[in-house]
Chains A and B, each alone.
Chain A
Amino acid sequence: MSRGTATDLVYLLAIIGFILALKALSSPRHARRGNLLGAAGMVIAVAWTFSEPSVYSHTRNLVLIVVAMVIGTAIGMPAARFVKMTAMPQMVACFNGVGGGAAALVSITEFIALSHKSIALYKVGEVLFGVVVGSVSLSGSAVAFAKLQELMTGRPVTYPGQQAVNAAIAVGIVGLVAAVVATASTPLLAVVLGLSLVLGVVFVLPVGGADTPVLISLLNSFTGLAVAASGFTLNSDLLIVAGTLVGASGMLLTRMMSAAMGRSLPNILFSAFGSVITAGTGPDAEGRTVRSGTPEDIAVLLAYARKVAIVPGYGLAVAQGQHAARELADALSGRGVEVYYAIHPVAGRMPGHMNVLLAEANVPYDQLEEMDQANLEMPTTDVALVVGANDTVNPAANNTPGSPIYGMPIVHADEAHNIVFLKRSMRPGFAGIDNELLYDPKTTMLFGDAKDSLTKLVAAVNAA
């Protein structure tokens, strides 16, 4: 068997690993195995690549490759191992961004290597596609990271003429790309690179913090496409298939995520979600009163209820209160109260984020209810205990057509007999809009850090 055939076979194995990985990641039962399959595919592909003459024939280059891989592992491994579960979304953004950067660099380096030779026009086109999409993914992910890490405001950043400026940058890139194809000029390529990085930033700035996960998914898909473009440049089926798999599945995943929020993708990308701070304010905006209670009041309410729904949100995650929530649930179950968790699909900061956090606190799976199921039970629920959630229970999504979140499915906490909010303050949620449920006569507020409040409630329930 020739080397070429052997390489093709090994890379085919890796590709099968990737496809099976994506398949298995789509079912809870096999998800972990799927990830391991993907990793196995990666390991055999990378290991085999070391046997390529072009990789090992220059000793200096081979040493550099190994050193670079050691550095990458030394940074990536601890970063991934020790990141807090609440910080997962920005970590994914970060790893996605560096992937996009790597794809862009491969394209640029190939361009420099090729620039002395006469090459087919489509080759230059592939290179440019990789550079533009990879750089947009890199800088866009960096901004998404900054938003989620709260290094900058999570609010949409808008300015007059924003759409026009963005469109002008995009058109400018297209024009320059044509110029580079015609002239194969390296300085012009540098300008394309710079403008693409700027485009990634301005593309992400107007997207609100609550929508950032959808955006990360989109950028993830972009990186896949940039990798596929590099595959065209390098004539590598492996890169084309793996990159395209991610590009296509990422596109679908992005659409499913936006559907889970009841919004369309263009709406998320271009509507500057959340810039209208008070869109949810009803006619009774003024003179509304808020009822707040002591932990003891609320503990009695909970302890003598028949059925309690815990509606967790990002505030619970930030306060690391998932263990305290489980203790409260245990204390209540111990008294014969039926407890379940009503999980909004986008509770936390990413779809599925809350399930991961609660699983970390050993909450039994059978107590977790997805939103649709929970909403069926809500009218017979005595107390809906909303912990650090806001937008995901905001009735404005159902009854205020002007609201930015109108149309988003919500947990119908408003249908429970009583509502208790554990919240740090009256500040609006991530989407930046007011929540009329806070002023509902059925609602009792308990202000404070979610974990502290839950701990106090556990003590009070045990004493009740």
Chain B
Amino acid sequence: MIDSVVSATAGPGILGLVTVFVLAAFVGYEVVSKVPSILHTPLMSGSNAIHGIILVGTMLVLGEAHGAAQLTLGFIAVVLATLNVVGGFVVTDRMLEMFKTRPTPGPRGEEAKAGPETTTRAAGPGAGGGTGKS
């Protein structure tokens, strides 16, 4: 019985779920509306990791699975979802690691658009060009 699978979260009827869906769609759209192009790839990768939440769904399904067919499908589903979660977050972190050690986390071209928050960047070490000596 479907309701027993996730009895804990089965609250509102279908209309309640649709409401949640619509609100989440607006939030998702608004929350990334100002992402600079250098972060397009990490953002894609990060949101890719977030849909790994299907792992919770696969756990619930495999937990209740009966018979060889359901057990096999559920098992594969958990493996794939775990891959999605682990790989997604680790790859994203590796991309973003590149931004970590520097006091000026963004290219110069962005300062003009990024607003007051970033105007102090040029004062950081490494600014001003000519950093290397041959």
The answer to whether B48 touches A365, judged by C-beta atoms less than 8 angstroms apart, is: no
Residues of B within 8 Å of A232, CB to CB, are: 14, 17, 21
* Distance between A336 CB and nearest chain B CB, rounded to angstroms: 8
Count how many pairs of residues, one from A and one from B, have CB atoms less than 8 Å apart in the complex: 489
Interface flags for B81-94 (1: CB within 8 Å of A; 0: not) read 11111111111111
Q: Which residues A76-131 have CB closer than 8 A to chain B?
A: 76-77, 79-81, 83, 85, 88-89, 91-92, 94-96, 98-99, 101-103, 105-106, 108-110, 112-114, 117, 119, 122-123
The answer to whether B126 touches A248, judged by C-beta atoms less than 8 angstroms apart, is: no
Residues of A within 8 Å of B126, CB to CB, are: 364-366
Of B43, B50, B80, B122, the contact of A18 (CB 8 Å cutoff): B50
Residues of B within 8 Å of A231, CB to CB, are: 17, 57
The answer to whether A28 touches B38, judged by C-beta atoms less than 8 angstroms apart, is: yes
Q: Which residues A21-59 have CB closer than 8 A to chain B?
A: 21-23, 25-29, 31-32, 34-36, 38-39, 41-42, 45-46, 49-50, 52, 54-58
Residues of B within 8 Å of A49, CB to CB, are: 56, 59-60
* Distance between A260 CB and nearest chain B CB, rounded to angstroms: 5
The answer to whether A350 touches B47, judged by C-beta atoms less than 8 angstroms apart, is: no
Q: Which residue of A lies closest to B93 (CB)?
A: A35
Residues of B within 8 Å of A145, CB to CB, are: none
The answer to whether A109 touches B9, judged by C-beta atoms less than 8 angstroms apart, is: no
Q: Which residues A160-182 have CB closer than 8 A to chain B?
A: none
Residues of A within 8 Å of B48, CB to CB, are: 92, 95-96, 99, 220, 223, 246
Q: Which residue of B lies closest to A134 (CB)?
A: B54
Residues of A within 8 Å of B94, CB to CB, are: 80-81, 85
A8 in the interface, Cβ–Cβ < 8 Å?
yes
Of A23, A65, A227, A350, the contact of B51 (CB 8 Å cutoff): A227
The answer to whether B134 touches A330, judged by C-beta atoms less than 8 angstroms apart, is: yes
The answer to whether B62 touches A359, judged by C-beta atoms less than 8 angstroms apart, is: no
Q: Which residue of B lies closest to A223 (CB)?
A: B51
Q: Which residue of A lies closest to B37 (CB)?
A: A345
Given known A-B contacts A91-B87, A102-B58, A106-B61, A54 and B4 have beta carbons under 8 A apart: yes
Residues of B within 8 Å of A403, CB to CB, are: none
Residues of A within 8 Å of B14, CB to CB, are: 122, 232
The answer to whether A109 touches B60, judged by C-beta atoms less than 8 angstroms apart, is: no
Binds B, one of A147-155, A250-258, A278-286, A382-390: A250-258
Residues of A within 8 Å of B100, CB to CB, are: 32
* Distance between B1 CB and nearest chain A CB, rounded to angstroms: 7
Given known A-B contacts A71-B82, A235-B2, A355 and B62 have beta carbons under 8 A apart: no
Interface flags for B13-54 (1: CB within 8 Å of A; 0: not) read 010010011001111110111111111111111111111111
The answer to whether A117 touches B1, judged by C-beta atoms less than 8 angstroms apart, is: yes
* Distance between A112 CB and nearest chain B CB, rounded to angstroms: 6
Q: Which residue of A lies closest to B16 (CB)?
A: A237
Residues of A within 8 Å of B27, CB to CB, are: 19, 245, 248
Residues of A within 8 Å of B98, CB to CB, are: 355-356, 359-360
The answer to whether B40 touches A253, judged by C-beta atoms less than 8 angstroms apart, is: yes
The docked-state distance in angstroms from the alpha carbon of A83 to that of B93 is 13
The answer to whether A260 touches B35, judged by C-beta atoms less than 8 angstroms apart, is: no
The answer to whether A94 touches B37, judged by C-beta atoms less than 8 angstroms apart, is: no
Q: Which residue of B lies closest to A14 (CB)?
A: B53
Q: Which residue of A lies closest to B90 (CB)?
A: A80
Which residue of B4, B45, B83 has the most chain A CB atoms within 10 A of its CB atom? B83
The answer to whether A99 touches B54, judged by C-beta atoms less than 8 angstroms apart, is: yes
Of A65, A119, A353, A367, the contact of B59 (CB 8 Å cutoff): A65
The docked-state distance in angstroms from the alpha carbon of A250 to that of B133 is 43
Of A62, A83, A230, A352, the contact of B54 (CB 8 Å cutoff): A230
Residues of A within 8 Å of B34, CB to CB, are: 26
Q: Which residue of B lies closest to A375 (CB)?
A: B109
Of B87, B93, B118, B128, the contact of A79 (CB 8 Å cutoff): B87
Given known A-B contacts A80-B94, A242-B51, A248-B26, A351 and B21 have beta carbons under 8 A apart: no
* Distance between A127 CB and nearest chain B CB, rounded to angstroms: 10
The answer to whether A39 touches B49, judged by C-beta atoms less than 8 angstroms apart, is: yes
* Distance between B131 CB and nearest chain A CB, rounded to angstroms: 5
The docked-state distance in angstroms from the alpha carbon of A89 to that of B43 is 12
Residues of A within 8 Å of B58, CB to CB, are: 102, 105-106
A446 in the interface, Cβ–Cβ < 8 Å?
no
Of B2, B60, B108, the contact of A368 (CB 8 Å cutoff): B108
The answer to whether A365 touches B105, judged by C-beta atoms less than 8 angstroms apart, is: yes
The answer to whether A105 touches B76, judged by C-beta atoms less than 8 angstroms apart, is: yes
Of A11, A35, A114, the contact of B46 (CB 8 Å cutoff): A35
Given known A-B contacts A234-B5, A333-B131, A343 and B107 have beta carbons under 8 A apart: yes
Q: Besides the contacts A96-B48, A213-B44, A251-B29, what 16 more A-B pairs have beta carbons closer than 8 Å? A: A23-B32, A26-B32, A26-B33, A28-B38, A67-B75, A80-B87, A80-B88, A102-B77, A122-B14, A227-B57, A234-B2, A256-B37, A334-B132, A335-B134, A368-B108, A368-B109
14 interchain pairs, CB-CB under 8 A: A4-B9, A46-B85, A55-B60, A95-B87, A99-B84, A102-B81, A110-B61, A112-B69, A245-B24, A246-B47, A338-B129, A352-B38, A366-B122, A366-B129
Interface residue ranges, B against A (CB under 8 Å): 1-11, 14, 17, 20-21, 24-29, 31-66, 69-71, 73-100, 102, 104-110, 112, 117-118, 122, 126-134
